[in-house]
Amino acid sequence: MKKIVLLPLISLLAVQLLAADRDFSFIPEKTAFYGSGNFLSRSDMIKMLQKQIPQEKLTTLSDGELKTVARQVVIQQINYIIMSEIIEKNGLSPDPELMLKTLRAGHAVLSLSQRQAIEKQQAKSGTTFEQYVREAVKDPFKLMTFTFLQWIENNCQFPIEPGQQEAENFYRMNQQLFLIPETIEVSHLQSADEQTIKALYARLQLGEKFSSLSSGNSHYGVFKRGDLPWEIEEVLFKIKPGQFSHPIKTGSGWQIFYVEHYKPASFVPLEEVKEYINRQLRIRKVQLEADRILQREQKKKNFYLNF
DSSP state, residue 305: E
**Which residues, 6+ apart, have CB-to-CB distance to 84 below 8 Å?**
144
At residue 116, does pLDDT exceed 90? no
In a shared domain, residues 134 and 240: no
147: CATH: 1.10.4030
Grade residue 111 by pLDDT with cuts at 50, 70 and 90. Answer: confident
At residue 6, does pLDDT exceed 90? no
Q: Which of 9-18, 59-68, 155-164, 242-251 is modeled with the greatest confidence?
A: 242-251
DSSP 3-state percent helix, strand, coil across the chain (nearest 5): 55, 15, 35
Q: What's the total number of domains in the chain?
A: 2
Compute the distance between CA of residue 275 and CA of residue 279 in angstroms, rounded to an integer: 6
At residue 306, does pLDDT exceed 50? yes
Compute the distance between CA of residue 40 and CA of residue 31 in angstroms, rounded to an integer: 6
Q: Is residue 45 part of a domain?
A: yes
Q: What pLDDT, in 10s, does the model give residues 264-285?
A: 999 999 998 898 899 899 999 9
212: CATH: 3.10.50.40
In a shared domain, residues 168 and 192: no
pLDDT at 33: 93
In a shared domain, residues 143 and 290: yes
Nearest to 259 by CA among 185, 200, 208, 182: 185
In a shared domain, residues 188 and 39: no
At residue 180, does pLDDT exceed 60? yes
In a shared domain, residues 232 and 282: no
Residues 221-225: what's their mean pLDDT? 93
Grade residue 139 by pLDDT with cuts at 50, 70 and 90. Answer: very high
In a shared domain, residues 64 and 80: yes
How far are the Cα atoms of 26, 57, 278 from residue 284, in angstroms, in the given order?
A: 37, 34, 10
In a shared domain, residues 226 and 118: no
pLDDT at 125: 84
Q: Is residue 222 part of a domain?
A: yes
Residues 233-261: what's their mean pLDDT? 95
Q: Is residue 14 part of a domain?
A: no
pLDDT at 87: 96
**Which residues, 6+ apart, have CB-to-CB distance to 111 below 8 Å?**
178, 180, 268, 272, 273, 276
Long-range CB pairs of 104-108 (<8 Å, 24+ gap) are 104/133, 105/3, 105/5, 106/4, 106/5, 106/7, 106/279, 107/5, 107/133
At residue 14, does pLDDT exceed 60? no
pLDDT at 3: 43
In a shared domain, residues 166 and 111: yes
Nearest to 186 by CA among 254, 261, 264, 263: 261
Q: Is residue 23 part of a domain?
A: no
Q: Is residue 134 part of a domain?
A: yes
In a shared domain, residues 134 and 188: no
Residues spanned by the domain of 246: 182-264
Cβ–Cβ < 8 Å for 110, 276: yes
In a shared domain, residues 210 and 79: no
Cβ–Cβ < 8 Å for 237, 247: no
pLDDT at 13: 33
Q: What is the DSSP string of 158-177?
A: S--SPPHHHHHHHHHHTGGG
Using DSSP's 3-state secondary structure scheme, residue 77 falls into helix
